[in-house]
Structure 1
Amino acid sequence: MPIKDVKNVRLTDVKLRDRPHLLLWDTANDLELRQLAYHENAECISYRTHLLSRINPQNRFLALHYQLDRELDAIKAICANTDKPVVLLQDLDCLITYLHVQPESPITLFWQNLFNTRHLESILWIILPSQLVPPDWDESRLQRI
């Protein structure tokens, strides 16, 4: 059931605090995102910006589909390198879309590995449009806005 107002979202009320959660939000805007981050004492981080800061501009190809472990490690590092108890990770849809269009797409492997990620140092909420949620994601680790 979708939550209508970001003031009613409770990101710290989760059973599994060391694992990733999905926040399905089709119409997120910057103001609401900042409001949610402030209200929940969260840090909002862009996966896209973080990726751009990690890549070597001399490389001609990203080939992220061969680097799934590296990308998952980067997500873990995002959670470790904050002083906030909650991380709102936005723009991961660019990686998911990239993986979907690859021949012999590793998207299922990515979702399995992300779902099974443990020992995150902050509560991780990945903001995604509802169209991108994997069908077998555990409902207890998911909220809709």
Structure 2
Amino acid sequence: MTAEPAPVATDQELKYDKGDRRKKHVGTTSEPVIELDPHQPRKLIGKCPKGLERQAAAILKRSLAGPRGDRPGSYAKHRYAVHNGTIYEAATSDRGETYHGYPYHGKLAKALVAELRKYAVEDEMEAQFDKWVRDHITAHGSWQP
């Protein structure tokens, strides 16, 4: 018996925004990487694999809403997805109209990591997912979309 994947977000029609001027998260290799920001040495930047933008809309459609916190409105500032074992964060800068994504490094709620792992299991990428979590994620607290 396989685990049921977490439900796909249905609170709105999710749209990906490539951001033609947005180059910060564009990588030059075939793998996602986390690099130091040359302008802020303590800040890390997720760089997407070359060519990932062709699949970005489909990845976004399989995302989970991050915590809304005290934010008014019905949109999540961040959404999280798994692709090839890597956790991606998508952010909105236009109140949930569109999202742009990048490989994620940082803190995530334990329950959210567990829900994302279901996608990795479904895609048979759990070893890659577990490695990404071990190398880039600090699990903490709780999560409620």
TM-score (ref. length: structure 2): 0.29
More strand as a share of residues: 2
Structure with bigger RCO (C-alpha 8 Å, 6+ apart): 1
TM-score using structure 1 length: 0.29
